[in-house]
Structure 1
Amino acid sequence: MADEQVIPVAQSVEIVSVNQEETNSLPLDQNPAAVYLATLRPVGRRGMLRALTLIAEVVSGGKQTALTLPWHKLRYQHTAAIAPVLVERGYRPATVNQALSGLRSVLYHAWKLGLMESEDYQRARDVKNRRGETLPRGRALDKDELKALIKTCQAEKTPGGLRDAALIGLMYGTGLRRSEVVKLELKDYNPATGALTIRGAKGGKDRLVYVKGGAAKSLAVWLEQRGDTAGALFCPVHKSGKVRVEIMTDQSVMKILKKRGLQTDLESFSPHDLRRTFISDLLDAGADIATVQKLAGHASVTTTARYDRRGEAAKSKATDLLEIPY
């Protein structure tokens, strides 16, 4: 076979020969990875593309991408080696399992497109998720940190400061993802009830959350500055102080929080840490976990429980009960 290349998965795994011309010749509507990615929502698509790219790099020795790898050539001896290689490289179980989920889905589409025989497909996809627990990622902010962040924004006394105070208050007070925040529009908020409609969130689901207390007050102040023009709820603010009613990017939210954190001299935190804090504080206050699950927009209570930091606090407190004779 002319112009062949091999796809090594691991030294102990038999290799597969793939014709280079065949590798890149499939049109997108016949490419199983492209077809699968097209079924996903934009936010999920980006994450899954990263996961599939990771697999493509592993099985091709870095020579192929998610969209050039001939997925239909993979067999069980290759797919079975992927998880061990990723674990050896230090990837967390959640990352490995996301990659395996994407692998199974791409193989399914390869079978549906007629690129794989049923028996080859069933064997190749029969790879099990990795089990294991790791320490929770991220951190929860305490009340003093949140108060300091908002005071830093208020002290600036500019439209940008008012916006950022409202943004931080709303993200903590509702637990929204930054991708959800930037899609909010003025029409989504009902000041009379505090209801805020989240449209097309993760998984394509809509849900209601409620803006209350200080979050509602800070949002009211921002809206006075923003005005009642239809469009994005949170908008870019020019250096001159002029508000431009247009959509912000989720990367802009990241930059705003990083800037305010540095100004306040806080330990590094991410936008998602505000979401973690929202969930953990609600649970700590005695809110029912099923209700918190709905507010957070999680598909299962198990996911919500992973955000709970009470377990670590309880373990720390229990250890304090011991008296070490030293």
Structure 2
Amino acid sequence: MSSSLALIPSSGDSPLDRSAAIRALRDMVLNSVVSDHSKRNYAKALDEVFTLCANRSQGLSRALLMEYRASMVEKKLSASTVNVRLSAVRKLVGEAQRNGIIDADEAANLAGVPNLSQKGTRLGNWLTRDQAKELLTVPDRSKIKGERDYAILALLLGCALRRQELARLDIDDIQLREGRWVVADLRGKGGRVRTVAIPLWVKKAIDRWMVAAKIEKGRLLRPLSKSGKVIGDELGDWAIWSVVEQSAKEIGIEHFGAHDLRRTCAKLCRKNGGDLEQIKFLLGHSSIQTTERYLGSEQEIVVAVNDNLGL
């Protein structure tokens, strides 16, 4: 093992030295990432790699990274997930090179572990209108938790919010504009600001939850004890994801997450004749091309585009 890899754990280092090296390199990488979501993904990948190093009692090497890649494939992780985790490792290698820990040749060797090929475009999951209606019947609205969970599903499905946006939603963000309720000046992905209209049925769900929880200010969503008592000031975005996943399982749908409700909202808007540009504003996309890719394309056979050529 080259001495230039001093900050990368090796079998000759003491446990204290290895621990310090791991923290140093890990922090370099995570501090270079802006998105909280990316930080979590990168942190998971690096922790797994460093654990593998420790279990093998060896430093970082191409062979070890290929083993890490193979283990992810064996777990049947998606190509996109594998590639994101490999990206974190490349970031680690890049930071090590920039800080003079490894040379260019070693960096190129370590960073050369190939991505998995992605065939086609994964459009993700979404619900039909009937499935969406069934999902909304899952929460037991006779209980306070049911009122909260129904409000979560309603806001994700009716307003196409991201779960991080929903977790940060304050009661003061819900305002009257032009005679209707909206989430005003919502700051989303990439710092883009948008205003999201709230359908009446969603506003009623919000109101019922606020009355049941006896909250008037601060974060809209709160954690609850098993007895139904509000026990915190903010519900985490992963708790929101869990509500969606568990509710979907209740209607027989596996591997369904909060973002799939956002996609469902967009799909149902489009199927009901929604203007593509207005859907772009709803989702907070930077371009209409992003919205088109997000919605995907579906060929209409019953009423085909070439039925009315006027010939």
Q: 1:315 to 1:23 in 2, by over 3 A?
A: farther
Aligned to 1:321: none
Aligned to 1:35: 28
Corresponding residue to 1:236 among 215, 223, 233: 223
**Percent identity over paired residues:** 23
Aligned to 1:322: none
Measured after TM superposition, the shift of residue 94 of structure 1 is 0.7
Matches within 5 A, 1:165-244: 165-192=150-177, 193-197=180-184, 201-202=188-189, 207-227=194-214, 229-237=216-224, 243=230
Matches within 5 A, 1:222-301: 222-227=209-214, 229-237=216-224, 243=230, 246-257=233-244, 260-261=247-248, 265-268=251-254, 269-287=256-274, 292-293=279-280, 295-297=282-284
Q: Distance in 1 between matches of 2:288 and 2:97?
A: 33
Residue identity opposite 2:32 in structure 1: T
Q: Distance in 1 between matches of 2:15 and 2:186?
A: 39
Is residue 48 of structure 1 aligned with residue 42 of structure 2?
Answer: yes
- Between 301-310 and 221-230, report the one with greater CA deviation: 301-310
Q: 1:85 to 1:170 in 2, by over 3 A?
A: closer
Measured after TM superposition, the shift of residue 171 of structure 1 is 0.7
Q: 1:159 to 1:191 in 2, by over 3 A?
A: farther
Q: Distance in 2 between matches of 1:179 and 1:42?
A: 10
Contact 1:145 1:266 in 2 (8 A): no
Residue identity opposite 2:204 in structure 1: K
Q: Which runs of 5+ in 1 are unaligned?
A: 2-16, 319-326
Aligned to 1:13: none
Contact 2:129 2:268 in 1 (8 A): no
Aligned to 2:4: none
Secondary structure, counterpart of 1:195 in structure 2: strand
Contact 1:55 1:99 in 2 (8 A): no
Is residue 21 of structure 1 aligned with residue 5 of structure 2?
Answer: no
Measured after TM superposition, the shift of residue 110 of structure 1 is 0.7
- Between 170-179 and 194-203, report the one with greater CA deviation: 194-203
Per-residue CA deviation, residues 19-65 of structure 1 (Å, 9 max, x unaligned), is 4307862636972232212333443222122233455567x49537x
Aligned to 2:100: 114
Q: Distance in 1 between matches of 2:154 and 2:167?
A: 15
Q: Distance in 2 between matches of 1:122 and 1:282?
A: 47
Corresponding residue to 1:100 among 86, 94, 97: 86
Secondary structure, counterpart of 1:21 in structure 2: coil
Structure 1 vs Structure 2 CA RMSD: 4.2
Q: Distance in 1 between matches of 2:185 and 2:286?
A: 15
Measured after TM superposition, the shift of residue 188 of structure 1 is 1.9
Q: 1:81 to 1:303 in 2, by over 3 A?
A: farther
Measured after TM superposition, the shift of residue 249 of structure 1 is 2.7
Measured after TM superposition, the shift of residue 241 of structure 1 is 5.5
Measured after TM superposition, the shift of residue 114 of structure 1 is 1.6
Per-residue CA deviation, residues 188-240 of structure 1 (Å, 9 max, x unaligned), is 22144433257665556554433224223322333344455321102235566
Q: Distance in 1 between matches of 2:22 and 2:187?
A: 26
Contact 1:254 1:270 in 2 (8 A): yes
Contact 1:28 1:34 in 2 (8 A): no
Q: Which runs of 5+ in 2 are unaligned?
A: 2-8, 304-311
Per-residue CA deviation, residues 154-210 of structure 1 (Å, 9 max, x unaligned), is x73343333332221111012223233222111222144433257665556554433
The alignment covers a number of residue pairs equal to 292
Q: 1:316 to 1:110 in 2, by over 3 A?
A: farther
- Between 245-254 and 100-109, report the one with greater CA deviation: 245-254
Residue identity opposite 2:29 in structure 1: Y
Q: 1:21 to 1:180 in 2, by over 3 A?
A: same
- Between 289-298 and 101-110, report the one with greater CA deviation: 289-298
Corresponding residue to 2:119 among 129, 133, 149: 133
Q: TM-score, normalised by structure 1?
A: 0.68
Contact 1:36 1:106 in 2 (8 A): yes
Secondary structure, counterpart of 2:183 in structure 1: strand
Q: TM-score, normalised by structure 2?
A: 0.71
Contact 2:11 2:59 in 1 (8 A): no
Q: Distance in 1 between matches of 2:78 and 2:174?
A: 38
Contact 1:43 1:202 in 2 (8 A): no
Contact 1:284 1:310 in 2 (8 A): no
Contact 1:152 1:260 in 2 (8 A): yes
